[in-house]
Structures are given as C-alpha cells and as structure tokens.
Amino acid sequence: MATTNWTADNIPSQQGKTILITGANSGLGLEASKVLSGKGAQVIMTVRNLQKGKEAVETIKKENPDAKLDLMLLDLSDFQSIRRFSEDFHSRYSQLHVLINNAGVMSPPNRELTKQGFEVQFGANHLGHFLLTGLLLDITRKTPNSRIAVQSSLAHKHKQYGGGYMVFEDLNFEKKTYNKDHAYGQSKLANLLFAYELERKLKAHHISTIVTAAHPGYTNTNLQKNFGFFIKVIMNKLVAQKVEMGTLPILRAATEEGLKGSEFFGPTKMNEIKGFPELVKSNDKSYDKEIAKRLWEVSEKLTGFTYKFD
Ligand SMILES: NC(=O)c1ccc[n+]([C@@H]2O[C@H](COP(=O)([O-])OP(=O)(O)OC[C@H]3O[C@@H](n4cnc5c(N)ncnc54)[C@H](OP(=O)(O)O)[C@@H]3O)[C@@H](O)[C@H]2O)c1
C-alpha cells in the first residue's frame, strides 16, 4: 500500500458523496472541508460556533464559489446538542457516505466539564463522537460504500500524555489530580479503541460500513492555543507541518478506495511528526479487545445510548 508522496491529487472525485466533518471551522477540519468540497462532495460542516462557521464557509467559497457546503450547529460537549443535531440531520439527509470525527480540544489548563459534567477531553473528544456516530449509524449503514474516519493523535501512546493508559477508575479525573495532558492522551486512545471496536462490531454483523483512523503528526493549527508562547508560536512555526500536509492522513483514511477497515494513517517522517501519509501502527493497547469492550460498555452507560446492529 506504500505510495510515493500521497497528496490530495490522489483523491478521486467525490461527486455524489455526502460527507460530514466535525470541528470544520478551523485547522484540519476546515482544510478537509475545503479539499473534499473541491472534489465535488456535499460537505456538512459542523461547528459549535455559527459565527466562526460562517467565516469558514466564506473562506472556502472565496476560492470555490460552487462548493456545496452546509453549515450545521453541533457542540460535542453537550449530549442535547448532539441529539438535536442528529434529528436535524435526519430530517435533511438520507445518506452519509463519510463521517469524519475530527473535532477536538487539547489540554485546557484547568479541568473543564461538558454540559453533562464529564471532563471535557474525555467528554467531547470521545463520548461526544461515540454518541454522534451511534445516532447517525442508521443512515451511515444504509449508504453504500460508507465509512467513518476517526482523527486520533500520536498522543494516544506518548509517556507525556499518560503512556496509552485508560484511567477506568477515574475517567473524568475527579478523584486524583487533574492531568491535562493525560486526559488528552486518554481521549485520543479512546478514539482508537472506539474505532477498532466499532469496526469489529460492524464486521461481526455483516454491515459493510468501514471504520478507519488517522493522526496528523504535529500540525500548526489552533489546537495548541492552551500552550505557552514557545509551543504556540515558535514550535508551531519551526517544527509543525503546514495544515495542508497535516490533513492528508485523515483525507486518505476518508477517501482511499479499497480499504478494508481499521487502517490507521499517519505521517512517516521524524517519528511520525511530519511527512506524507502512510499506514502506521498505533500502540498495542489500542488493539486490546478487553480494554475496548470495557470502554464501549462504559461509554454506552455514560451517554445513555445503546448501539443497535441488527
Ligand atoms: N494539530 C495537531 O498537531 C494535532 C495532532 C494530533 C491530533 N490532532 C487532532 O486533530 C483534530 C483537529 O484539531 P486541529 O489541530 O485542527 O485543531 P483546531 O484548529 O483547534 O480545530 C479543532 C476543532 O474542533 C472544534 N471543537 C472543539 N471542541 C468542540 C466541541 N465541544 N464541539 C464541537 N467542536 C469542537 C473546534 O471548534 P472551535 O474553533 O469553536 O474551538 C475546532 O473547529 C483534533 O481531534 C485533534 O486532537 C491535531
């Protein structure tokens, strides 16, 4: 599957496809919206702030006035917003070829909570997408050749971010001291555990929708806004890759034909920090079926949503 310098030029026409992207007003989500609408897809750009969303739509329309963009409100840190969004989506769309679970928040210095009281990184990055994906699955599974592409991070395995450890005894960092970086790493490991478990469940039920995953290495976006000047400005300029490059892994995961499911794409240069996207390996924990099962059960309990595959 190794390709020489896979770029957006490798993406086939997306005419006729309906693609939903979360966190579409900024960084990787905005770039993916631009590229995929440029390839002819109807792109549903979901945002939690409509003003920011309108500006993002204008940015794309300036370059491509014919882009088929639909802006919709979705706050992943509020289950009610996700349920409202799902109802709205069901009333407007009958197919969903690609769901790109991209939105994310990283390392807020103080422990922040979602509307329902979960630590915000576990709550929005993981639980929010878990609920969203489940609510949309009836449409996704009846759309031929459909897929779900999940944006994770190298942080799912790095020591600084908790070393790939789900803190099941304290998922919301309520009991022990809040560790912003571990909470982020945990949420990004959860993204992968969810992706692989969902893929296994879909296969087991003979549902043709596939699930793929990606990480963008280190990319200059607004994600690092909670960090100090050195990272936010200096490192982002000198080390991080540009957003056009950082978006390629998720674009590949979302569009490459012939994938079977569970593929994980990331950059391959400088310990996966930058470079063109190829298949990469996530850590052993992310493939652990027992951990995935436990996370699935707790996620159903916390979201109050039970997946139905029959
Ligand atoms: N950039 C990197 O180096 C890097 C590395 C590894 C993984 N990632 C992952 O890539 C994804 C995209 O991040 P990015 O780098 O493009 O950062 P970004 O520019 O900050 O974009 C993040 C997007 O997520 C949205 N978002 C955050 N919380 C949300 C919520 N509760 N509900 C709905 N939307 C929400 C943001 O909306 P607002 O603009 O309203 O805040 C924004 O649109 C994230 O999942 C991140 O973990 C990025």
Tell me: pLDDT of 186 over 90.
yes
pLDDT at 3: 62
Distance 149 CA to ligand 1 centre (A): 15
| Position 164 confidence tier, pLDDT thresholds 50, 70, 90 | confident
| Residue of 282, 54, 248 whose CA lies nearest to 152 | 282
CB 303 within 8 A of CB 130: yes
Torsions phi, psi for 281 (to 5 deg): -110, 135
262 touches ligand 1 (CB under 6 Å)? no
CB 152 within 8 A of CB 191: yes
27 touches ligand 1 (CB under 6 Å)? yes
pLDDT at 2: 57
48 touches ligand 1 (CB under 6 Å)? yes
Residue whose CA is at the smallest distance from ligand 1 atom 46: 104
In the chain, where are the structural domains located?
8-216+246-303
Residue 243 CB: number of other CB atoms within 10 A? Answer: 18
Tens digit of each residue's pLDDT (9 = 90 or more) over 57-106: 999 999 999 999 999 999 999 999 999 999 999 999 999 999 999 999 99
User: Tokens 């400005």 sit at which residue?
Assistant: 233
Tens digit of each residue's pLDDT (9 = 90 or more) over 110-132: 999 999 999 999 999 999 999 99
Q: DSSP secondary-structure letter at 279?
A: E
| Residue of 211, 231, 78 whose CA lies nearest to 151 | 211
**CA dist., res. 13 & res. 220, Å (int):** 27
Distance 103 CA to ligand 1 centre (A): 4
Q: Which residues are catalytic?
A: 178
The CATH number of the domain covering residues in 8-216+246-303: 3.40.50.720
Distance 33 CA to ligand 1 centre (A): 14
pTM of the model: 0.97
Mean pLDDT calculated for residue range 41-54: 98
Mean pLDDT calculated for residue range 176-205: 96
| Residue of 155, 151, 134, 180 whose CA lies nearest to 309 | 134
Token pair in block for residue 272: 């996966």
28 touches ligand 1 (CB under 6 Å)? yes
pLDDT at 234: 75
From the number of C-beta atoms within 10 Å of its C-beta (0-12, 13-18, 19+), residue 23 rates as buried
